[in-house]
Amino acid sequence: MKPSSSPSDPGVGAGQGGADPGGTARRGGLFDGVLARGGVRSQVDDHAWLQAMLDAEAALARAQARVGLMSEAGAARVTAACRAANFDVAALGRDAAAAGNPVVPLVRALTAAVGADVPVHHGATSQDILDTAAMLVAHRALGPILDDLTGAAEAAARHAEEHRDTPMAGRTLLQHAVPITFGLTAAGWLTGLDTAARRLAELRATRLAAQLGGAAGTLATLGEHGPAVAAAFAAELGLAEPALPWHTERGRIAELAGALGTAAGAVAKPARDVTLLAQTEIAEVREGGADDRGGSSTLPHKRNPIAAVSALAAAAQAPGLVATLLAAGPHEHQRAAGAWHAEWLPLRELLGAVGSASSWLRDCLEHLAVDPDRMRSNLELTGGLLLAERVSAALAPALGRLAAHDLVREAAADHRPFADALRARPALAGFDIDKLLDPAGYLGSAGTFVDRALAAHRAVS
């Protein structure tokens, strides 16, 4: 059983003492158009977290009904009441200050809604509900993240296949190195995205676990029924059942953070390449999409690669958030004093950042226009200098590797065109200089590597 999506919001009007049921976080923010793009935003806002907490409370009630600790009718009453629109997020947030977490006021409000005769929250502690909610939020947010990573990978695969043999300048340390193909560049994007998506999917399926341990991880309140309730609780939610409560064993959070950080890096790589390749002086790619995208407030001629820029901006937030979550890893004794609380916002922001970055990159690659003619022009920019390695390799059998390297370096430093400088050197008499300086003849195994990347992608897609 997979975790279900949060119930649909029936709208405003069923609130408990507030004018903004569901929470103000659902409204658009000033920077959301750039930094909160895609489907993740609604899966990690206050409404989503509140609904996940309520889903945990409802699942706990149903789990206890399964083992006879609560009536079916009581569990049904709890489930019916567990709708985020019935509660005031702002009030819960204010009241959380008294207890140090929002679960305590939520349980009071839920009990008032259900009736004191139904044992709401029986056997659980606040961390059980909030940790389980975090796993539900992560599971739901990973849905659109994986969808966008997959979409971006598909776009990269199309570019790799279409431009398998399109030569371009390979660049190392931002300088021309040797010829490669644009297909190889796109294949590199593809493998990074596929690897990141595969890890997140695996983690989503196996490592997002329910949390139920009671005050100190023993479920003593539930007596002999504790393990059975915990198993039923996980089953109701569609989350993994852990071997034991993980209140202070935060490996799952660390794994999630690490995988999201890796995904951010996999997104940032092609986004960075696009911004570089789209520079006016290079102009080998450009972003498509809406006609009005990429404009400047002062320069009428500008068409900036906004999707790539925005993907980079969102992805750049990930490392710091990952670091915060890892730093919060050591939890003392059976329940932490502060480290647990430190996880809440960074986890939400990390999911949102990676979600936005993935959405922007998908848009970028799906609308990316590639200019093979400009790539060829840039290959010829240095008059064949980026074939210097090939010439040196051709000379090495006769002169030795170092002597050949030095001779070609001297020719490259000559003030004449490189081809003329090579022809002037007796050691190169008899060589077809034009052939040696043809970029299309020195692509190595680029095509084979593209084929491998595409085959691996198709095997798992």
Buried b (16+ CB within 10 A) or exposed e, 203-229: bbeebbbbbbbbbebebeebeebbebb
Whether pLDDT at 42 is above 50: yes
Kindly report the three-state secondary structure assignment for every residue of the chain.
Answer: CCCCCCCCCCCCCCCCCCCCCCCHHHCCCCCHHHHCCCCCHHHHCHHHHHHHHHHHHHHHHHHHHHCCCCCHHHHHHHHHHCCHHHCCHHHHHHHHHHHCCCHHHHHHHHHHHHCCCCCCCCCCCHHHHHHHHHHHHHHHHHHHHHHHHHHHHHHHHHHHHHCCCCEEEEEECCEEEEEEEHHHHHHHHHHHHHHHHHHHHHHHHHCCECCCCCCCCCCHHHHHHHHHHHHHHHHHHCCECCCCCCCCCCHHHHHHHHHHHHHHHHHHHHHHHHHHHCCCCCCCEEECCCCCCCCCCCCCCCCCCHHHHHHHHHHCCHHHHHHHHHHCCCCCCCCCCCHHHHHHHHHHHHHHHHHHHHHHHHHHHHCEEECHHHHHHHHCCCCCHHHHHHHHHHHHHHHCHHHHHHHHHHHHHCCCCHHHHHHCCHHHCCCCHHHHCCHHHCCCCHHHHHHHHHHHHHHHC
Q: Please give the class, per CATH, of domain 125-376.
A: mainly alpha
pLDDT at 288: 87
Whether pLDDT at 453 is above 80: yes
The tens digit of pLDDT for each residue in 167-201 reads 999 999 999 999 999 999 999 999 999 999 999 99
Whether pLDDT at 292 is above 70: no
pLDDT at 231: 98
Question: 276 to each of 66, 161, 169, how far by Cα in Å?
Answer: 59, 22, 13
Residues 10 and 8: their CA atoms lie apart, in Å, by 6
Q: What is the mean pLDDT of residues 135-143?
A: 98
Q: Give the range among 102-106, 232-236, 270-274, 286-290 with minimum mean pLDDT.
A: 286-290
CA triple 263-268-272, angle to 5 deg: 165
Whether pLDDT at 151 is above 70: yes
Q: Is the pTM of this model over 0.85?
A: yes
pLDDT at 290: 61
β-sheet bridge partners, residue 176: 171
380-460: CATH topology is Ribonucleotide Reductase Protein R1; domain 1 (1.10.40)
Catalytic residue ranges: 296, 335
The tens digit of pLDDT for each residue in 213-226 reads 999 999 999 999 99
Q: Percent of the chain beyond pLDDT 70?
A: 91
Mean pLDDT of the chain: 92
pLDDT at 303: 75
Sorted by where each begins, the domain ranges of the chain are: 125-376, 380-460
Biggest alpha carbon–alpha carbon distance for the chain: 100
The tens digit of pLDDT for each residue in 212-270 reads 999 999 999 999 999 999 999 999 999 999 999 999 999 999 999 999 999 999 999 99
pLDDT at 302: 55
